[in-house]
Structures are given as structure tokens and as C-alpha cells.
A and B are shown apart, each in its own frame.
Chain A
Amino acid sequence: MAIYLDHAATTPLRPQVIEGYLAQLQVLGNPSSVHSQGQKARQVVEDARDQVAKAVDCHRSEVLFTSGGTEGDNLAIKGLYLDAVKRDPQRKVVLTAGTEHHAGIDPVEWLEQSEGAQVVWLPVDEHGVVDLVTLSEYLDEHGRSVALISLMWVNNETGLITPIAEITRLAAKHGVPVHSDAVAAFGHVPVSFNQSGLATMAISGHKFGAPVGTGALIVARDAKLAITSHGGGQERGIRSGTLSAPLALALGASAALAVAELEQVSGRLEVLAQKLKNSIVGIAPDAIFTRGEHDGFAGIVHFTFPGCSGDSLLFLLDSAGVSVSTGSACRAGVAQASHVLIAMGRTEDEARGSLRISLGYTTTEEDVDAFIAAFPDAYAGAKKAGLPSK
């Protein structure tokens, strides 16, 4: 059995959830139907909505079930922009950063190309930290022309935490709504939507133990979103489409479990991650821990290895039965040099030498030890293979 250290890609389905999920799959009823069978399905959905609301700390009416993070980001970013510009045609600027996930970047680029949005890419430092001074100055000067700010809570590649509350405080002075992709954050670091000051926030179920294909977009009651996906008007009209009671149930139950054990799990992962980092640096002294000393989610351990190609490391570790990731976006398996690292000012060669080891709620010390055992040979081989550009 392979050692799984790619929890940031997807994490195991929670065993406590499977039984209820499977049972609900066999129950007939559309939650929007008026008859009793429909109402029973609706109740399952609404119970789950309560659980999600409690877990993310928001009002139940603010929880919209989606298919996952990408859909949530699209609905929020496009919806916030199109509504803002409709109310005030001057508000054409989207402030975001090059370190966002593609689900955050691509909708913004689409707005730029198709809707005349003006995108301002906020500078980030070599660890990926967004320059809040620039943000603050930009808002002071051009606040009235900003439609929205979109910044992710935890970076899915590097694990870096962005101080969302500071950003929303700056934005609030200018009436600018803020969206956050919290896919890598929720269930892993403390997240309170109520205290965040966000207008919208996307989460994805399979990152915290629900099945793939379910997530939620949290939309503040006073946030104004244009409708960008049209249909039967479910989920406040923002996310039309038949609700899945089993997926909602699994999402709610997993969210509750993730939050309940967050403190205990993150304490454990902290220790395991430290062990991992120490042994990596011991074997590869020139390895660079990507987010530096900044706050981050302990479960994401991201390094760059000078002179190594991440896909060589990945291949050799995979051959040794250890599943990890280069961290960067894959398009049909074609590993791109991480746009996140490029945005952080790394060269393409540096970006190619990256490896993300991500731990989750099921990770044990044995898993970490298996990695540590396999790493020296993999590193030596990858170092020998060098970089593809050379």
C-alpha cells in the first residue's frame, strides 16, 4: 500500500461519513419537491446547511451548496464583479495576486478579456506574502474604482496563510467586497466567516474528508452578486441546479468532524511536519522551505530543491511507493512550472524544482518515516538527472 502524502490534492473520505452518505444515496426525493418525500430530502440538506454554518461560523442562509471550490470561486468572482460594475461603471478594478489558484486567476482573466475588467496584480514577496502596504495605498488612491479583492486564505501550494481580516479591514473603508478561496484553509486552520469580514468564501468538501463533487460558497447576507449561472433558482438563485442530499449530508458531517478535531490534528501535524522538514534539510541542505518563517498550515510542507526537477523527485518517490506532488497545477498530467512560485519571483528552473508533501487527518508518524526513508535515494537520483533546461 502506497504511503499517501498528498492530502492537499484530496484527503480520504471520513469513515464516519460513509455509512450515512451511502444510505442517503438510496433515498428517493428531490429536495425541491413539494411532497413529503421531497421534504424529507430537503430536511437532510437543511440539517447539513446548519452543520456547515456552524463549522464555518456563519448564518445558515449564507451557505450555498456547490460542486466544489472552482464553482464557488467562479460564482463569487464573476458575480461580485458584474454586480459592482453594474451599480457603478467606474468600479472596474479587480485586485488579486499571481499566487492564487487557477480557480481564482482564470475567472479574473476572463473578466479582463471579456468584460473589460482591469486587473491589478498585487506584489508578493519571495515567500508569497501579499504586500499590504501597496494594497492599502492603492485603495486610498483608487478605492472608488475597485470592484472586488480576491485573495486566498491558505495557499494550496505553499501553505502560507494570508491575513484575511487585515485585508477586509482595509477594503471596508472603501466599500470593496472581498472574496477568499478558503479551499486549503477550511478544516485545517481556524476559519470564522463572521469574523473574517469577507463578502464571499469558497470551500471544497474533498479537502476535509467529504466526497469529491461537493462544496459550499459562503455568501454574506448583504453581499451583492450578479447571477452568472442560470436555472431553477436554487441556493438564493446564485447556484441553480438540483441539490444533492447525500452530498450535502457528507459535506455537513465532514465539516463538523474536521472542525471538532482541528486543534488536536493540527498539533499533531505540526510535530510531524517539523520532523519532515528537519530530515529534508539534513539530506538536502540547500533546499528552501518555500514560505519561510511565515504563518502557514502545518500540513503543507513545500520545498524547492535547486538543481533538481520536481517531476524527477515525484517519479522516484512514486516508484518507492510514496505519493507526493510537485504542487503545481497539472493540465492533463502536464506539470507546469508553478505559476505561484513564478509570481513569487522564482525563476522557472527554481519553480520546477518544487515538491509539496501534504499531511492530513489520517497521516501517521509511520507515513512520515516512510518518506524520510525513501527521500535520500530519490533526492540523489533527481539531483543526478538535473534540470530539463540544462
Chain B
Amino acid sequence: MKVLAAMSGGVDSAVAAARAVEAGHEVVGVHLALSRNSGTLRTGSRGCCTIEDSMDAQRAANILGIPYYVWDFSEKFKTDVVDDFIAEYQAGRTPNPCMRCNERIKFAALLEKALALGFDAVCTGHYASLLTDEFGNLELHRSNEMAKDQSYVLGVLTAEQLKHSMFPLGATASKNDIRREANERGLSVANKPDSYDICFIPEGDTQDWLSEKVGKAPGQIVDREGNVLGDHQGTHEFTVGQRKGLSIGRPAADGKPRYVLEISPKTNTVIVGPQAALAINEMFGTRYTWCGSAPAETDNWSEILVQVRAHGDAIEAEFKVDSGQMRIRVKQPLLGVAPGQTAVLYLGTRVLGQTTIDRTVSAVPVSAGSEV
């Protein structure tokens, strides 16, 4: 196969490319230029957008003996990932930009371009496994290495996208094994630190970065009964479940800390309450996709596992599709789920599909007040 290996300059994608080469594919390395003005480490940029990262990727491609190019997706990345991230926060939601990037850049814009230019597949260094069911349909599964499993952020992939995807790291081992393998292959990226935060936010401080982008919009912090408890400088500075940074003068009646329960950009208010009130028992989403074959039955409640954040646990739940809307009911109340987050459905280790959460239903009715 003609394989395009997306190379970030990190160790995972380098080893993934190496394995694709070893499997006998005709591999071309491509680094995605995502930042409008590529900074260098010197100017404080970090993550996957620096010139140094691009050079690391190029060096890895050289060692593997494969051609290497840089393709510029910065414009699309800005509109589809960065601007979307800002707009989501402004709308009071908590987006996952890595997921957007997979959905719209890596497995959309990049994949489409790759197919048009004669490639058969895009290969990445994600920790996830592609398996085939008894009928030959592709299924996305968790990586064997649960600690590094990244199937969650790939939950947005459709059957068509899976057909042209390749995750050579999925079936293997631990991150340490990947580093050892990189070292043995003479890849200098072997000991590069893992990337964590959001790649386009320079110092890793999301709230500061957002404030700079959207400016201040002072409003009120209220409790669930509507009592005004304090002021805020913009709803984008808050996410559901947040405890720190709430400038509330008076303590709660019970003396316990208060958490952000809800953000209402429409009224520019932040609603706070006790931790117990963060619990939700149902989620709704209209933007849902199936990862691989769609389930045969969606009209009635079916047992699944649901995961709502990249490094969270999957918990028992049931789902059904109700007039174009996915409903997910969790067996145990779930804390701190914000609209905008993605709920990924699993059947065992298999990724079934995903939805962006539009709204949640609190497990604690307002009337329960602060007694909970």
C-alpha cells in the first residue's frame, strides 16, 4: 500500500512510520504545519507546532529512508480547531480540540488530500487497534496498553475513515517499549517528552489564552436558586466541575466548597453549587457518529460503556437514539460532565461511536437545594 505517515516529530508517530515501512508499505512522511506562524522553542511555543518538531520529524524520516514533506493545514486548523475551540468556550461548552483535529484535519483534510494524491492510507502514532469482525468489517478497539490508550480521541472516525487508517502502535506493548524501539532504530526522538496540553496554547494556560482571545465580559456568579454570590470576568474562564478561581465572598451555608455546575452564556452567568449537584445521570447529543458498522438496534435501550474524557474511566450505561438525538443514561451518577465534551460509547474494548454532549440532566433536582 501507499501509506502517508503523519509525523508530528514525536516518538510515537516516528515508530508508527517505521513499522509501516517494515511491513513493506511504500511510506511517505508528512508533517502537518498547523500553526500560522511557526514559533520555535526559543519563542515559547511548544507541543507539536514548533520548527524544532518539524525538524525532528524530518530527521526521523531521513533515518527511515522515506521521503518527507511538510503540508500546510494552518488555515483549516485555525478555522476548524482553534476558532471552534474559542467559539465552544464562548458558548459555555468544554470542547476537546484533539478530537476536532482528528475529525476535521488528520482524518478529513489530510486523508482526503492523501487519497487524491494517490495514497491508500494515513498512518498515525495513536495507541489504538484496528481489528476485523467475522464479516470483514473494520472495528476500532482500545490499545493493549490501557494506560496509553487513545481510542477515545479516535471515536469520531467513521467506517469510511477507518478503511484508510493505520495505527501500527495499537497492538503493542508499552510506551517504554516504543521508546526502546525508537532507540534501537536510531531515532533521536526516542527520549522526547510526551506532549500533554493543547498544542496551540503556548504556555499551557488555557484560561489566560482564552481571555486574551475573547476579552473580558463581566457577569454574575449565582447559585441554583438564583442568589447572586459574586462576579466573574467572562464565562469562558470557567468549565463545569471547576472549583478554583471562583471569587465568591461568602462561604456556603454548609461550609463546603462550591463548584461550577453550569455556564449560561445567554445570561452571562456562572451557576455554582455543592459538589454533589455536579452529578448527572443522563446526556443528550444530536451530533453523533458510528465508528465502523452502526449498531443494528438503536431504538431501544442497549447496554454499553461510556467514557466522557480522554483519560477517564468507561462506566456502565445504556443508550438509544430518540428522534435524531442520542440519549445516554449512566448507571451511577457521573460528576462534572460539561456540554461540548464528547461521550464515546464502547462495547467491551470496541469503540461503537460517539456524540458531542449538548446537554445533561442533573441527578440532583434543584428542589433538593444545598441539603445534598
Residues of A within 8 A of B (CB): 309, 311-312, 314-316, 318-319, 330-337, 348, 352, 381-382, 384-386, 388-389
With contact pairs A348-B75, A388-B71, A389-B76 given, residues A332 and B55 touching in the complex (Cβ less than 8 Å): yes
Assembly CA distance A337 to B72 (angstroms) = 9
Q: Are B117 and A389 in contact (CB under 8 A)?
A: no
Flag whether B67 is at the interface (Cβ < 8 A). yes
Contacts A312-B117, A333-B31 aside, 14 further interface pairs with beta carbons under 8 A come to: A312-B113, A331-B38, A332-B55, A332-B70, A334-B70, A335-B72, A348-B75, A381-B118, A382-B117, A385-B112, A385-B116, A388-B71, A388-B76, A389-B79
Contacts of B58 in A (CB 8 A): 332-333
Q: Are A332 and B51 in contact (CB under 8 A)?
A: yes
Contacts of A315 in B (CB 8 A): 69, 117
List B residues 29-68 near A (Cβ within 8 Å). Answer: 31, 33, 38, 51, 54-55, 58, 67-68
Contacts of B118 in A (CB 8 A): 316, 319, 381
Minimal beta-carbon separation of A388 from chain B (angstroms) = 5
A-B contact pairs, 12 of them (CB 8 A): A309-B113, A330-B70, A332-B38, A332-B70, A333-B55, A334-B51, A385-B112, A386-B113, A388-B71, A388-B75, A389-B76, A389-B79
Nearest A-chain residue to B77, judged by Cβ: A388
With contact pairs A332-B38, A333-B54, A334-B38 given, residues A311 and B71 touching in the complex (Cβ less than 8 Å): yes
Q: Which of B31, B73, B76, B117: most chain A CB closer than 10 A?
A: B117
Contacts of A309 in B (CB 8 A): 113
Q: Which of B31, B38, B75, B116 contacts A381 (CB 8 A)?
A: B116
Assembly CA distance A309 to B112 (angstroms) = 13
Flag whether B109 is at the interface (Cβ < 8 A). yes
Assembly CA distance A189 to B57 (angstroms) = 39
Contacts of A389 in B (CB 8 A): 75-76, 79
Q: Are A335 and B75 in contact (CB under 8 A)?
A: no
Contacts of A336 in B (CB 8 A): 72
Contacts of A335 in B (CB 8 A): 33, 70, 72
Minimal beta-carbon separation of B301 from chain A (angstroms) = 41
Q: Which of B51, B73, B113 contacts A385 (CB 8 A)?
A: B113
Q: Are B72 and A333 in contact (CB under 8 A)?
A: no
Q: Which of B51, B55, B72, B109 contacts A311 (CB 8 A)?
A: B72
Nearest B-chain residue to A334, judged by Cβ: B33
Minimal beta-carbon separation of B170 from chain A (angstroms) = 28
Assembly CA distance A386 to B113 (angstroms) = 8
Q: Are B69 and A311 in contact (CB under 8 A)?
A: yes
Q: Are A385 and B75 in contact (CB under 8 A)?
A: no
| Interface flags, B138-162, vs A, CB<8A=1, else 0 | 0000000000000000000000000
Q: Which of A318, A348, A382, A384 contacts B67 (CB 8 A)?
A: A318
Minimal beta-carbon separation of B319 from chain A (angstroms) = 34
Contacts of B69 in A (CB 8 A): 311, 314-315, 318, 333
Minimal beta-carbon separation of A207 from chain B (angstroms) = 24
With contact pairs A388-B109, A389-B76 given, residues A333 and B116 touching in the complex (Cβ less than 8 Å): no
Q: Are B116 and A331 in contact (CB under 8 A)?
A: no
Return the 7 tightest CB-CB contacts between A and B, nearest first. A385-B116, A333-B70, A384-B116, A389-B75, A332-B51, A334-B33, A385-B113
Contacts of B76 in A (CB 8 A): 388-389
Minimal beta-carbon separation of B129 from chain A (angstroms) = 29
Q: Are B116 and A386 in contact (CB under 8 A)?
A: yes
Contacts of B68 in A (CB 8 A): 333
Contacts of A334 in B (CB 8 A): 31, 33, 38, 51, 54, 70, 72
Q: Which of A332, A348, A385, A388 contacts B117 (CB 8 A)?
A: A385
Assembly CA distance A335 to B117 (angstroms) = 18
Q: Which of A315, A332, A337: most chain B CB closer than 10 A?
A: A332
Contacts of B38 in A (CB 8 A): 331-332, 334
Contacts of B75 in A (CB 8 A): 348, 388-389
Minimal beta-carbon separation of A63 from chain B (angstroms) = 35
Contacts of B70 in A (CB 8 A): 311, 330, 332-335
Minimal beta-carbon separation of A375 from chain B (angstroms) = 15
Nearest A-chain residue to B56, judged by Cβ: A332
Contacts of A386 in B (CB 8 A): 113, 116
Assembly CA distance A30 to B54 (angstroms) = 39
Assembly CA distance A236 to B166 (angstroms) = 61
Contacts of B109 in A (CB 8 A): 388
Assembly CA distance A381 to B109 (angstroms) = 15
Assembly CA distance A331 to B117 (angstroms) = 24
Contacts of A352 in B (CB 8 A): 72
Contacts of A316 in B (CB 8 A): 117-118
List B residues 109-141 near A (Cβ within 8 Å). Answer: 109, 112-113, 116-118
Nearest A-chain residue to B118, judged by Cβ: A381
Minimal beta-carbon separation of B109 from chain A (angstroms) = 6
Nearest A-chain residue to B49, judged by Cβ: A334
Assembly CA distance A337 to B37 (angstroms) = 11
With contact pairs A334-B33, A335-B33 given, residues A388 and B54 touching in the complex (Cβ less than 8 Å): no
Assembly CA distance A314 to B71 (angstroms) = 11
Q: Which of B55, B73, B112, B116: most chain A CB closer than 10 A?
A: B116
Nearest B-chain residue to A385, judged by Cβ: B116
Assembly CA distance A318 to B76 (angstroms) = 25
Contacts of B116 in A (CB 8 A): 312, 381, 384-386
List B residues 63-107 near A (Cβ within 8 Å). Answer: 67-73, 75-76, 79
Minimal beta-carbon separation of B70 from chain A (angstroms) = 4
Nearest A-chain residue to B35, judged by Cβ: A334
Assembly CA distance A348 to B76 (angstroms) = 12
Q: Are A388 and B51 in contact (CB under 8 A)?
A: no
Assembly CA distance A167 to B117 (angstroms) = 46
Minimal beta-carbon separation of A319 from chain B (angstroms) = 8
Minimal beta-carbon separation of B314 from chain A (angstroms) = 35
| Interface flags, B225-250, vs A, CB<8A=1, else 0 | 00000000000000000000000000
Minimal beta-carbon separation of B346 from chain A (angstroms) = 33
Minimal beta-carbon separation of A337 from chain B (angstroms) = 7
